[in-house]
Chain A
Amino acid sequence: MPDFGDHVDNGIFSQILEMDDSEADRDFSMPLVLNFFEQAEETFVKMDKALIQRNLEDLSGLGHFLKGSSATLGFNKIRDSCQIIQQYGHKQTIDGASEPNEDVCLKKITEALNKAKSDTSHLEGKMKQFFKW
C-alpha cells in the first residue's frame, strides 16, 4: 500500500482494501473511494450554499455527515476539517466550549471548508494514482 502520509489512517484504509476480493480488481474499495469523492463534492456544494445563507445548523449536519464517511475510510485530514465544521456549526469550539459569536463560527467554518476542499483534491490525486482510474 502506498504512503498517503497523514492524509490517511493506514490501519483503517487497509481494512477497506482487505475487503477486495482481488488486489488487481479492487472491485469493492475503488467504487467506494470514487463514491466518497462524489459525496464530498456534493457535500461541499451544499456547504457553500449553507455558508451563504449563514445556516449553521445545516453546516453542522453536513459536517457530521462527511465526517462519518471520511472517518470510515480513514481519511483523517478531511475528517478533522469536518469535525471543525460540525463543532462551529453547533457554535462550539473544538474543545466543546461555547462560541456564541456567529461571525467567528462562520469564519472558522469557511477556513475548515477551504482546507477540506484542498485536502480532498490532493487526496483524490493520490487515490487516482493508486487505483489507476
Chain B
Amino acid sequence: MEEPFVGPPLSWSGSSSIGAGPSRLDLNILFDLSPLPLLVISPSWRITNASSRLLSVWHVPSADACVGQELLPFVQNQLSASPVHLRYLTVAIDDAIATRTERTTKSISPHSAASWRVRVIPIFKDDELVAVVTEWLEGPLTELNLAEDQIVTPGLSIDEAFRMLVQAVKDYAIFLLDTNGRIATWNAGAELLKGYTRDEIIGKHFSIFYGKEDLAAKKPEMELEICMRDGRVEDEGWRYKKDGTRFWANVTITAVYKDGVHVGFGKVTRDLTERKSAESRLVAAYEESDKLKSDFLANMSHEIRTPMHGMLSACALLLETELTERQRDIVGIMDESGQVLLQVINDILDYSKLAAGGFSIHSDIVGITSIVTSVVRSVQTTLPPSVHFELFLAPNLPRSVQGDPLRFRQILQNIVGNAAKFTEGGSIRVRASVESEDMDSYTVMTEVTDTGIGIPERAAADLFQPFTQYDATTTKQYKGTGLGLSIAKSLAELMGGRIGYRPNPERHGSVFWFTAKFKKIKSLQQIQDWKSKLVAREGTILASPDHDVVSLQKQLATVASIKHFLLVEDNVINQKVMLGMLRSLGFKNVALASNGSEAVNMVRSKPAAYDVVLMDINMPVMDGNEASRAIRKAGIRVPIIAMTAYALKGDRERCLEQGMNDYIPKPVDKKLLIRTLGKWILKMPDYRRSFGDQLNKLRHYEALNPTFSPTPDAKEDAAAFWQGSVRNSSDDTVIIAEPPASAPPMTGNEADRETPSANTTADNTADNTPTAPLTHEASVEDSIAHPTDSSAEGISVVPDPVRSQPRSIDRKVQGAPQAIEIPSNNEFSTSNHGSQTSEATDSGQGTVSSESATSSTTPFDKSVDSDDAPVNTSPAAEKNLFMLLP
C-alpha cells in the first residue's frame, strides 16, 4: 500500500509548517541532525524516516537498513522486546491516533541494558493520518518497571485496563477536568447520568451541572479551591442533567498531578437519589414511630394520672373522716402507695415529654432563695432525727430573677430528695450561690452534699442515664423509676445549665450540683406585672379542705353587709341563681350588669365601689375578657373573678392573662364560691391601697412565704412537690409546705393591719401544721460550737463563709432609725419547734437585743407593714434580711 510521503514532520519543534515549500529541506536536515532518537512511521506502521541519533544509538549502519521496514518487528529485533512491551507501544500508538494527542509509553525492553520509553506523536492533516512520529527516550532500568511488569496481565496494559474500566463504568460519572475546570474526558456513566454526549460536553465548564443557587454561592469555584488546598473535596447536593431534571449527587473531586505539576481534576459523581429517598423514608418512619411512642406515653400517663388524682383525693377525704387506727393504717398505705405510683407516672410523663422535645421552659418570676428553703423544708420533714440539714445561701443571690421556678424546683427537689433518701445519718448540706453573672443573666450554682451511702465509681458514669438506678442491695430498698436524675439533667440543660456529681471530699457520701441560668429582671413594672400574676395564681394553693368552708362562710357572713359586688351576667337565669347564692351567703349589695360594656361603665364611674366583680365571659356587646382588659386599662385593680362554662384546662390561665384574678367554672359550686370569695374578700389585701403599699405587701408576702412561688396550677405544683412527701394526716389537701404565716387572714377594714408575728406563731402551734414555720432565733454560740450537734430537725442557715459580708440593717420604725449589727460570723439556726419560737421571742436570746430578736423573727412585719411607719430598707439590707428568712 502506497502512502504519500510528506517529508519528516517536525511536530515537536512547535512549527506546523508541514509541507511549506521553502523550508522542507531545512526541516529534513533538522530532523536528521536532531539529538533525539526519532523514528517516523507511516499510517501502515512502516518506518519512513530515522534520525541519525537513533541510528547511532541502535547501531544501525544506515537509514536504508530500516526505512521501509515494519515498525514492530524492527523494534523487537533491535531491543529484543517482549510481546508485552511491544503491546505498550501498539497501545500508545493506537491511543495517540484515536485521541489525536501525544502519548508516552511505559518503559520498554527491560531485558536490554537500558529501558526505553516512547513518545508517540500522531500527525493529522484534516482527518487524515499523515504519519506518526516516535521519539525514543532512554532511561535507566528501575525497580518500578519490574514491579509494574509483574502486575499487568499479559495482553493488557495498565493504561488500557484503567481506560477500559473508566469507560465501561456506568454507575459512576468519571471524568477529568482541566486546570480551569473544563471537562476533558467523558465516560459512559457520565453520559448516562448527565445526559450529555461526549461531543456536547468536552470543553464545557463543569459548573454546567450546578443549580442556580449553587452557582450564585460560587460553589463550583469554591470546590476547586478547596480541592487545590486539600487535595480533594466531597460534596452532596443537587446536580442538573441536560434535560433540566435534577438528582441528588455525591461528588468527589480530586486534584490530579503529573510529575508534580497540577494538570487538572478527577471528578466522580454518583447518583444518590435512590439512597436519599430510602433514607428519608427511614427517617420519616423512625420519627413517626418515635412520636407515636411519646404520644402514647404522654396520653397513657395522662389517662392514668387523672383517676390517680381522683383516688388520692378520695384517700385524703377518707383520712379526714373518723377511722379506727387499723383503718387509718390501711388508708395510709393506700395513700402512700398511690403517691409513689403517681410519682412514677409523672417521671415517665416528664421523660417522654423531654424525649419528644415537647418540654418547654416557662418564663416566670423565680425567688431562688425561697424555693431552696422551701425544698429543704419539705424534705426535712421526712428525715430521721439523725440527719442534720444545713443551708448555705450566698449573700449575693438575687432576690428575684426570671426563669422557670417549677423546673428549678423540680431539679432541686430531685437532688435533695435523693440525698434524703440515701442518707441515714450525718448531714445534708445545700448551698446556693451565683456562679457567674453578666449584663442580662445570673448563673446560679446549687450544690447538695450528703453523707449518705455514696456512689461507687463504676456507677457514677451512668448516673444521668435514663432508667438506671444504683441500688446496693439485692432487694430493692429504694423506690423509684431511675428517671429522676436523667430528667433533672435534661431540665438543667433546658435552663442553660449543667448537672454533675462528685464524691463527697470530706467523708463518705455524694455531692450533686447543678447550674441554671436566669434572666435578670430589669424594670419595676416587670416585677409588678409578675407579682400581680402571682397573687392571681396563689389562689389554688390556699384551697382549704371542706371543713374550713363552714368557718369561711361564717367569716364571710360577718363582713357581708359591707361588701359590694358587681355581677356581670347576660343570662337572667344565671343572674338569679348567682344572686340567690350570694344572698344565701349574706351578700345583699349586688349590682347587676348584663354585658361587659355596662360593667366597664359601672366600674369606671365608681372606681372604688366594688369589692369583687364576678364576670361572665361569653356575653353579647362586650365579652368578659375585653371588659376585664378595659377595667385594668383604666388602672382599677378590683378583683375580677371569671365565671365561665368553658371547663377546659388552660381556661383559668387564659382568664388570668386577660387581667382577671381568679376563675370559677360554671355551674358555680357553692363551696368553691365560698373559698374563692374567702380568698378575695378575707385574705387578699384591699386593692384600694396604693401601689407602693401593694408592692411592699407583695414583697413581704414573698419574703415570709418561701413556698409562694409562681405556680400555674396547684396540682402541678403538688406533683412537682410530691417527692418531698410533705403529706400529713392533718394537712391533706395542701400538699405544699405552706407556713400559715404566709398569708395572715385580713378582714375588711383591718386588712391593713398584719397579724403580729407572735400571734401568727401561736396560730401555727394551734393548727399543728406539719410544716411549721421556720422561725429564726439567734442561737449563735450553740451552732458554732457544735455545728453538727444542733437540733436534729433543725435547719441551719449559715452565712456562706466565703461570701459573707458584715451585715447592717438600717431601718426606720416610726421615724426612729435603729441599727442592728450582726457579726459576720453569726449563724442563724432555724427550727420547726413552735415552742422554741415563743421562747426566742420572749427572751430575745443571742447577741441581738430583745427588740431586734422580735424583729428577726419576722423582720418584715415591722419594716414593711407598720401602718404609719415610713419604710426605708436599702437593697443590700433587704438582701441580708431576706437571708434570714425561710
Interface residues of B in 512-570 (CB under 8 A from A): 570
Contact of B645 with A71 in the complex, beta carbons under 8 Å: yes
Chain A nearest CB, measured from B584 CB (Å): 5
Contact of A72 with B577 in the complex, beta carbons under 8 Å: yes
Some 22 contacts from A to B, beta carbons below 8 A apart, are A9-B667, A15-B670, A16-B577, A16-B580, A19-B580, A19-B581, A19-B583, A28-B580, A32-B573, A39-B571, A39-B573, A61-B620, A64-B618, A65-B570, A68-B573, A68-B618, A69-B571, A71-B666, A72-B573, A72-B574, A73-B573, A73-B667
Q: A32-B576, A71-B667 are in contact. List 15 more A-B contacts (CB 8 A).
A: A9-B667, A15-B581, A15-B670, A32-B577, A35-B572, A39-B571, A64-B645, A68-B571, A68-B573, A68-B616, A68-B618, A68-B666, A72-B571, A72-B667, A72-B668
Q: Does A74 belong to the interface (CB within 8 Å)? A: yes
Q: Does A41 belong to the interface (CB within 8 Å)? A: no
Interface residues of A in 1-35 (CB under 8 A from B): 9, 12, 15-16, 18-19, 28, 32, 35
Interface residues of B in 669-710 (CB under 8 A from A): 669-670
CA of A15 to CA of B578 in the docked complex: distance in angstroms? 11
How many B residues have CB within 8 A of the partner chain? Answer: 20
Contact of A72 with B666 in the complex, beta carbons under 8 Å: yes
CB within 8 Å for A73 and B666 given contacts A35-B572, A64-B618, A65-B571: no
Q: Which B residues form the contact surface with A (CB < 8 A)?
A: 570-574, 576-577, 580-581, 583-584, 616, 618, 620, 645, 666-670
Chain A nearest CB, measured from B452 CB (Å): 50
CA of A9 to CA of B860 in the docked complex: distance in angstroms? 49
Q: Give the one of B577, B669, B670 with max A CB within 10 A.
A: B577
CB within 8 Å for A18 and B645 given contacts A65-B570, A72-B666, A74-B667: no
Total A-B residue pairs with C-beta atoms closer than 8 Å?
A: 56
Chain A nearest CB, measured from B615 CB (Å): 13
How many A residues have CB within 8 A of the partner chain? Answer: 21
CA of A10 to CA of B573 in the docked complex: distance in angstroms? 18
The closest CB in chain B to the CB of A67 belongs to: B645
CB within 8 Å for A36 and B584 given contacts A72-B666, A72-B667, A72-B668: no
Give the residues in chain B near A61, CB-CB below 8 Å: 620
Give the residues in chain A near B572, CB-CB below 8 Å: 35, 39, 69
Give the residues in chain B near A71, CB-CB below 8 Å: 645, 666-667
Q: Give the one of A9, A64, A74 with max B CB within 10 A.
A: A64
Contact of A35 with B584 in the complex, beta carbons under 8 Å: no
Chain A nearest CB, measured from B438 CB (Å): 45
Q: Which of A9, A67, A73 contacts B577 (CB 8 A)?
A: A73
CB within 8 Å for A69 and B581 given contacts A15-B670, A64-B618, A74-B667: no
Chain B nearest CB, measured from A58 CB (Å): 11
Give the residues in chain B near A15, CB-CB below 8 Å: 581, 669-670
Contact of B574 with A68 in the complex, beta carbons under 8 Å: yes
Q: Which of B583, B584, B645, B670 contacts A68 (CB 8 A)?
A: B645
CA of A67 to CA of B645 in the docked complex: distance in angstroms? 8
Contact of A36 with B618 in the complex, beta carbons under 8 Å: no
CA of A67 to CA of B727 in the docked complex: distance in angstroms? 40
CA of A72 to CA of B670 in the docked complex: distance in angstroms? 12
